[in-house]
Amino acid sequence: MDALAALQMMTGPSMGAQLDNVVKNAAAQTIPAQELQTVNTDMAAQAVSPAQNSSPSSFSNLLGNFVGEVNAQQGAAGDAINGLLSGKNVSLHQTMISMEEASVSFQMMVEVRNKLLDSYQELMRMQI
């Protein structure tokens, strides 16, 4: 799936013409070095911060925090898409990065749910 198809899937078919124009304009631009450094430092901070500031006291808190983080990433991706479509100073590259982060985190959440469900079903099948 290419970037345009992913954006159209997230926004719907009515935004197709606007997306085509935005993509054509963004494709001609290069990513400034300062923006790349910002992306790298943001990604490094995200990799370090969850382990430092999350010391959940229970399993439910851990799952609640995880779902909250996934929700925040989905919201950030939506804001980036809206900013890109409205012509704000949001680059296509940053929008695609936030969309992919949100997608990967959601897929991980679904897999964790599937593993938990499988574990529960296995416990229910055990004979006492």
**Residue pLDDT, tens place only, 49-83:** 554 455 547 888 888 999 999 999 999 999 999 99
Cβ partners under 8 Å of residue 81, min gap 6 = 7, 10, 11, 95, 99
CA atoms within 13 A on the CB side of 84: 30
Question: pTM for the complete prediction?
Answer: 0.55
Strands (E), the chain: none
The answer to whether residues 38 and 89 touch, using CB atoms and an 8 Å cutoff, is no
Mean pLDDT for the chain overall: 76
